[in-house]
Amino acid sequence: MRVVLAVVAALALAAPAAAGTWTFGRRGGNIRPVAVKIDSAGHVTAIGATVTKKQLTRATLARLLRTARTNGFFAMPAFVACPRVLPDVASLYVTYRSTASTHGVTVHGGCRPQFATLYNALSQAAIGS
């Protein structure tokens, strides 16, 4: 019985933690837009940016989802307009789509450090910056 429980626990740890798709980037303002997609298998594609990794590991996908949860991404409103930000400043966005739901956040300005933490983790994982 203990062996069976150990095998089940090991399989649960080995299972992919993220079954969703991430899209993130910047848009608006007077700077070139960027759009990056990380699909549920970890394949990375981008428009307007050069990706350093074409494939992310399951561990990286799990870490990104953990970062999102830890920083309250799924509780953030869809749009955050930071005070005193000029309209020609681009907005950053992150969207997570799973079979169960979709949640997207766009932030215009730098007033949400938790959002910036997730955005930077996604950017570092996919494009290396």
Q: pTM (2 decimals)?
A: 0.84
The residues pairing with 55 across neighbouring beta strands, listed in sequence order, are 43
Residue 5 placed within a domain = no
Which two tokens mark 39?
Answer: 């699909």
Distance in angstroms (rounded) separating the CA atoms of residues 52 and 46: 10
Give the angle subtended at the CA of 127 by the CAs of 90 and 69, to the nearest 5°: 75
Residue 6 placed within a domain = no
**CATH code of the domain containing 118:** 3.30.1560.10
The string of pLDDT tens digits covering residues 58-112 is 999 999 999 999 999 999 999 999 999 999 999 999 999 999 999 999 999 999 9
The string of pLDDT tens digits covering residues 28-57 is 999 999 999 999 999 999 999 999 889 999
Q: What is the DSSP letter of 44?
A: E
Report residue 128's pLDDT band, with 50, 70 and 90 as the boundaries: confident
Q: Tell me the residue range of the domain where 36 lies.
A: 17-127
Count the domains in the chain: 1
